[in-house]
Amino acid sequence: MTDASAPASAADHVIADRLDDYRESLFDLLRLPTVSATGEGMDPGADAVRDVLAGHGFDARRIETDRYPIVYGERVADDPDAPTVVFYGHYDVQPAEHPDRWESPPFEPTVRDGAIYCRGVGDNKGQFLAHAFALDALAAADAAPEVTVKLLIEGGEESGSLGLKAYLDGESEVRDPGIDSEAPAGAIRDADLVYVADGPQHRSGRPTLIYGNRGILTFQLDLETANADLHSGNFGGPVPNAATELAEVVASLTEYGDGTDPERGYPSGGDRVAIDGFHDGIEVTEADRELVAALPDAADAVREELDLTHFATERDYYERLLLEPTVTVNGLDAGYQGEGSKTVIPRTATAKLDSRLVPGQDPDTVFERIRDHVAGVHPDVEVTKGTGFPPMKTAVDTPAAPPVLDALSAVWDADPVELPVLGGSLPAAFFRRVDALADVPVLVVPYANPDQGNHSPNEHLDLDCFENGIRTTAAVLERVAEADL
């Protein structure tokens, strides 16, 4: 928290006065289970987001897509030459699985131990609403800076962002009232900065600025070797086993070793993707490596926290996490999974996987490389492409960074941590598909506590993170108004 004698923003006193009201507005939205995976609550959820933006001074409307609505809100500065900041967020949430593991109902916001517990509170409702509340407080303090603020809140981030992609591509089925729907990016094509508050802060708890995010590609492998499960005594040996053969395919996707592969010129110190052409095009700069080298070491803390006996690599923890791509097995299914034993040869086997991609990689190209590799190992394995986001990267010397870093330092009273990319994936790269936004900086500034537990039972947002998130947005806008973007 900042010293009251030196407020980070002219709106700080209003934020303190209205914090209970802001919390109740957040709670009302959290009680709506907006689950894009199933469609539960999505339509009323979009209306609720529109209403809360309108209630805090925004001209807000729904933008219909062939998937889920996007909610758009704006506050236009009086100065036509004022900079434009687009805040991106999403109102859809993950399913609240395993209700028995929740200490309070997943869609009933509950405050305990200094935090708000509820599905979606950190991912992402509590974070994107911070922007609306910040503008409300700045206006109430008669201190709204000369910045045009636009909020673009989508409803499909947890299920592929297809509606957002269609909107940014200017597809005709996306209906944006009052805006030429054929114009790519619609109302936000004049952005000077795209700002994303999503994900957790660095595990140190220090404020965090991230210059991009890894991309993601999901895919599935399926193998059928016979027309029925077979008796392992009557057929075991000569008859192929789907589980065994698919396991061999999965194992072929990665390899282990030390040093540098002279053919690829790609470092390997532990697990490395063993697919020809997989690493083509990777763009990791020396500035990116310097940021990673400056991060506080986390290896020992992670090992202890997760009760690990070892890491999969001997490489530096953050270098492997942030600067190198992966292939990850998410799930395996084959044969009998019930109690006791059943001596069968499985006729089918399935593996679900994802690949986290670093800047310079293209999900479509990577999928082709994976498909070719699998075909070379076992031609009978079917490879099915799932969803994906491209990686995204903003140069670390962007002029948009200093005002954000200054605001973070002032609000959180700590030196910010800077990451070249987020380990997770966001659809931020879709903004770069639009010619008008191709060179616009996209910055990720998470407001949630490191242990927020997004996607897990007992997801929570610390109360001080909620308040500081509002203060941060207000402070950023004040500083952006004075910056040369």
pLDDT tens digits for 77-97?
A: 999 999 999 999 999 999 998
Q: Is domain 12-213+392-480 classified as CATH 3.40.630.10? A: yes
Helix (H, G, I), strand (E, B) or coil at 152: strand
Dist CA 482 CA 485 (whole Å): 9
433 pLDDT tier (thresholds 50, 70, 90): confident
| pLDDT of 264 higher than 70 | no
Predicted pLDDT of residue 269: 41
Q: Are 449 and 9 in contact (CB under 8 A)?
A: no
| pLDDT of 268 higher than 50 | no
Whether the ω angle into residue 124 lies within 30 degrees of 0, i.e. cis, is: yes
Q: Is domain 215-282+325-389 classified as CATH 3.30.590.10? A: no
Q: Are 394 and 442 in contact (CB under 8 A)?
A: yes
What are 321-376's pLDDT values in tens digits?
Answer: 999 999 999 999 999 999 999 999 999 999 999 999 999 999 999 999 999 999 99
For residue 272, what are its two tokens?
């490395």
* Mean pLDDT value across the chain: 92
| Length in residues, the chain | 485
Dist CA 260 CA 340 (whole Å): 46
β-partners of residue 223 are 349
For residue 25, what are its two tokens?
């507005």
Amino acid at 155: G
Q: Are 182 and 389 in contact (CB under 8 A)?
A: no
Predicted pLDDT of residue 179: 63
Q: Where, residue-wise, is CATH 3.40.630.10 in the chain?
A: 12-213+392-480
Average pLDDT over residues 272-301: 92
What are 7-35's pLDDT values in tens digits?
Answer: 899 999 999 999 999 999 999 999 999 99
Dist CA 443 CA 423 (whole Å): 14
Predicted pLDDT of residue 255: 85
Q: What share of the chain is helix, strand, coil (3-state, %, to 5)?
A: 35, 25, 45
Angle value at C-alpha 449, between 204 and 353, nearest 5 degrees: 90
Average pLDDT over residues 314-318: 86
Contacts (Cβ under 8 Å, ≥6 apart) of 326: 271, 273, 355, 356
Predicted pLDDT of residue 427: 86
pLDDT-above-90 percentage for the chain: 81
What are 195-213's pLDDT values in tens digits?
Answer: 999 999 999 999 999 999 9
Dist CA 77 CA 216 (whole Å): 37
| pLDDT of 116 higher than 60 | yes
Dist CA 418 CA 296 (whole Å): 11
Predicted pLDDT of residue 474: 98
Residue from 371, 377, 283, 386 nearest 325 by CA: 283
Q: Strand 208-210 vs strand 417-419: parallel, antiparallel, or unpaired?
A: parallel
Q: What is the pTM of this model?
A: 0.88
Dist CA 31 CA 27 (whole Å): 6
Residue from 350, 372, 376 nearest 225 by CA: 350
Dist CA 278 CA 282 (whole Å): 9
Beta strands in 59-98 (DSSP E): 59-63, 70-75, 84-90
Predicted pLDDT of residue 476: 98
β-partners of residue 137 are none
184 pLDDT tier (thresholds 50, 70, 90): low
Helix (H, G, I), strand (E, B) or coil at 185: coil
What are 33-64's pLDDT values in tens digits?
Answer: 999 999 999 999 999 999 999 999 999 999 99
185 pLDDT tier (thresholds 50, 70, 90): confident
| pLDDT of 265 higher than 80 | no
Between these two residues, 183 and 106, which has the higher pLDDT value?
106
| pLDDT of 176 higher than 80 | no
Q: Where, residue-wise, is CATH 3.30.70.360 in the chain?
A: 215-282+325-389
Predicted pLDDT of residue 173: 66
* Residues 353-366 as b or e (16 or more Cβ within 10 Å = b): bbbbbbbbbbbeeb
Between these two residues, 166 and 418, which has the higher pLDDT value?
418
Predicted pLDDT of residue 270: 45
DSSP code, position 200: B
What are 440-451's pLDDT values in tens digits?
Answer: 999 999 999 999
Predicted pLDDT of residue 287: 93
Q: Are 413 and 1 in contact (CB under 8 A)?
A: yes
| pLDDT of 98 higher than 60 | yes
5 pLDDT tier (thresholds 50, 70, 90): low
Amino acid at 234: N
| pLDDT of 2 higher than 50 | no
Q: Are 435 and 398 in contact (CB under 8 A)?
A: no
Q: Are 227 and 218 in contact (CB under 8 A)?
A: no
Dist CA 79 CA 481 (whole Å): 11
Angle value at C-alpha 159, between 153 and 160, nearest 5 degrees: 80
